[in-house]
Amino acid sequence: MPFLQRVSVLLASACILSELSGVSAFNAPLVHIQSSVKTRGRATPLALRMQSVNRRDSIGIMLATAGMLAQTKDVGAKDVADGGLPGGLAEYMSIIKSKKQWGEIGNRVSNGHAEMSEEEWKNVQGYLRKFFDTGKDMEVVAKAFSPEEQKAVAEVSKEFRKAVKGIDKPAAAKDWETFMAQHKVILGYIDEFQDIRSGKKKIQSNAQYVPDEL
- Within 39-88, residue ranges assigned H as helices are 55-70
- What pLDDT is recorded for position 201? 80
Q: What are the sequence ranges of the domains in the chain?
A: 3-211
pLDDT in tens, the chain (214 residues): 454 454 454 555 555 544 444 433 333 333 344 444 444 444 444 333 333 344 345 445 544 444 444 443 343 444 444 455 566 899 999 999 999 999 999 999 999 999 999 999 999 999 999 999 999 999 999 999 999 999 999 999 999 999 999 999 999 999 999 999 999 999 999 999 999 999 888 776 554 545 444 4
Extract the runs of DSSP E, i.e. beta strands, from the chain: 201-203, 209-211
Find how far residue 18's CA is from the centre of its chain: 14
Question: Do residues 64 and 19 lie in contact, with contact meaning Cβ atoms separated by under 8 Å?
Answer: no
Burial of 70 (0-12, 13-18, 19+ CB in 10 A): exposed
Provide the CB-side half-sphere exposure for 131 (13 A, CA): 30
- What pLDDT is recorded for position 15? 52
- What pLDDT is recorded for position 58? 43
| Distance from C-alpha of 179 to C-alpha of 184, rounded to nearest angstrom | 9
- What pLDDT is recorded for position 199? 87
Rg (CA), the chain: 18
- Within 167-204, residue ranges assigned H as helices are 168-172, 176-198
Reported as a single tens digit per residue, the pLDDT across 86-106 is 668 999 999 999 999 999 999
| Distance from C-alpha of 17 to C-alpha of 25, rounded to nearest angstrom | 9
- What pLDDT is recorded for position 206? 54
Tell me which DSSP letter residue 75 carries: -
pTM of structure: 0.62
